[in-house]
Copies of this chain bind each other. A is one copy, B any other.
Amino acid sequence: MGKNATDTASQSGRPDDSAESACCTPIPDIDEDALVGDVQLLSALGNDTRYELVRRIGAAEDSVCVCDLEAAVGISQSGVSQALSRLYSAGLVTRRKEGSWRYYGLTDDAEQILDTLDALGGDHE
């Protein structure tokens, strides 16, 4: 305590009012609201279990029943259901009910993203 003998000079301000800013390039403002939706989508995909589910659904010809997915990803039925639910909220999968079964498929958005990811790093396998 008792450290504030002489308050330092102006330090925490942004030194950019002079016309000759040293490093600072002006960055334009962005639409922060638009970010929220994107982050929701990306964070839904950015998880091992959910991404594997999406990939498996995408690899199937048609939509896939939950029971298949359970066997594939190796977590409990409840976990799969929750994961699919999150993907659905993020707009990445479609749901179709048929009898007691639910069939999941990819949305167009999800397919677009997977295509883009497949096209990345096309040089290193």
Q: Which residues of A pack against B, CB within 8 Å? A: 1, 3, 6, 14, 22-28, 30, 32, 35-36, 38-39, 41-48, 51-52, 55-57, 59-65, 67-69, 71-72, 99, 101, 109, 112-113, 116-122
CB-CB under 8 A from A39, the residues of chain B are 45-48, 51
User: How distant is A103 from chain B, measured CB to nearest CB, in Å?
Assistant: 8
Closest residue of B by beta carbon distance from A58: B30
Chain B residue with Cβ nearest A123: B1
Contact of A62 among B25, B55, B99, B101 (CB under 8 A): B25
Q: Within the complex, which residue of B28, B59, B67 is in contact with A30, where a contact is CB–CB below 8 Å?
A: B59
Contacts of A43 in B (CB 8 A): 42-43, 46-47
